[in-house]
Amino acid sequence: MKEKRWVAIASSIKAAIRGGELSPGARIPSESDMAMQWNVSRMTVHQALSELQREGWVVRKPKIGTVVADRSAQPDTKIGLVFTGFIELPQGGYLAGIESSLTDGYQFIHYNTNADTQEEAKCLVAAASECSAIICYPISAPENTPLLKKIAASMPLIFVDRIPQGIDADVVMSDNFGSMVMGLRHLHALGHGRIAFFMEDQTTLSSVTDRYAGYQQFMRQEAGVPDPERWVRRIAWDVPWERYYEQVEANLIDLLSAPERGRVTAIACQQYALLAMVLEVCVNLGVSVPGELALLSFYDLDARVQPLARNTHRLIQRSVEMGAIAADRIRRRLIEGELTAQSVCLTAELIPADVRHHSPAAQEFIAARLSSAAKSSIS
């Protein structure tokens, strides 16, 4: 069986360290340089370096980069980072905050759950046996709740972004409820009273249920809508991308096909994947944003990834700050011993839509998409 490229890269670096070509403290080339050298993607290099760090061969230092570890003096305190991925946003922001705050005396061991229930359980068991504390971005699968409760009772465990139901543990997360209400108030101040809500049907995630609750309360108590549920659209998330698009498209057409007096003028999206898909559907249907439809969403990607996102209202999580707070909490638990579990919630930053003209490149992009759009889909 052919060796995976990231394994070959990691093996090469290990060989150089064993042979004395790379001594403790020596700087490893950047991920970009190594990607060019090995003719692979940066993700492949990142995976190799993450595994080397997990095994204690290298350490990552802020403003310096990756350097060869002194394996004769490895730190005693190992922190397990149990995440669904280490590159995707906002997880990359959480990790940046954690790793920049816990430096000397701590070693990070990365465990990638790949958002899989059984894999998460394996990672948690391994982290509990190998580490002194765990920082976790949980998938909140009910099957793993008993295991998480057992770990929380025996060692420092802190959750980032979300907390599984029924667990008394530290958590650092966005104020999902309050941030959603803040964004909806912004839309309402712009004259929008008929606001739909698109959400992924993941009711085990606290972030999802809190954002939904914020929508329900605002629409009832502040927008004066007695039955906001009629404008809620639930999207199955565990389906192929084509099916995901079809769901969003069908629901958007249904909402925009209503009589004008009852037609929604804005949509609040639970998260950025939904926003990206709604934008895609709007382009294909010839619906202008923000002209015909205003969009609000929690958003974790750089606006350059989706040019049209600049014309939407975005709630940006303070991910790096959240990671730093989680790191400080772990440090206190390790130093001071048992502490009462705390929940820290940070309000997201609201970035209003940029209604100025698009750049020439963006205008060409929109024109090309609209030229083939099926405008007749909405009658």
Largest CA distance in the chain: 75
Single pTM value for the model: 0.74
pLDDT digits (tens, 9 = 90+) for 253-289: 999 998 888 899 999 999 998 999 999 999 999 999 9
pLDDT digits (tens, 9 = 90+) for 111-140: 999 899 999 999 999 999 999 999 999 999
Residue 147 amino acid letter: L
Q: For residues 51 and 58, give the distance between their C-alpha atoms in angstroms, rounded to a whole number.
A: 9
Average pLDDT over every residue of 190-205: 94
Q: Are 83 and 111 in contact (CB under 8 A)?
A: yes
Q: Which of 7-11, 44-48, 84-88, 106-110 has the lowest mean pLDDT?
A: 84-88
Give the chain's mean pLDDT. 86
The C-alpha angle with vertex 142 and arms to 138 and 144, in degrees rounded to 5, equals 60
Residue percentage of the chain with pLDDT more than 90: 55
Average pLDDT over every residue of 239-259: 93
Q: Both ends of the chain: CA-CA distance in Å?
A: 56
pLDDT of residue 74: 56
Q: For residues 377 and 281, give the distance between their C-alpha atoms in angstroms, rounded to a whole number.
A: 11
Which one-letter DSSP state was computed for residue 76? S
pLDDT of residue 306: 65
All structural domains of the chain = 5-174+320-347 (3.40.50.2300), 176-316+350-377 (3.40.50.2300)
Residue percentage of the chain with pLDDT more than 70: 89
DSSP, collapsed to helix, strand or coil, labels residue 102 as: coil
The yes-or-no verdict on residue 372 having pLDDT over 80 is: no
Q: For residues 230 and 226, give the distance between their C-alpha atoms in angstroms, rounded to a whole number.
A: 10
At residue 365 the predicted structure's pLDDT band, cuts being 50, 70 and 90, is: very low
pLDDT digits (tens, 9 = 90+) for 158-189: 999 999 988 989 999 999 999 999 999 999 99
At residue 8 the predicted structure's pLDDT band, cuts being 50, 70 and 90, is: confident
Report DSSP letters for 283-330, one per residue: HHHT--TTTT-EEEEE--S-GGGSGGGGGSEEEE--HHHHHHHHHHHH
pLDDT of residue 322: 95
The yes-or-no verdict on residue 377 having pLDDT over 60 is: no
The helix, strand and coil proportions of the chain, stated in percent and rounded to the nearest 5, come to: 50, 15, 35
pLDDT of residue 254: 94
Q: Which long-range contacts (CB under 8 A, 24 or more apart) does 236-240 make?
A: 236/200, 236/201, 237/200, 237/201, 237/202
Average pLDDT over every residue of 59-78: 78
Average pLDDT over every residue of 105-111: 86
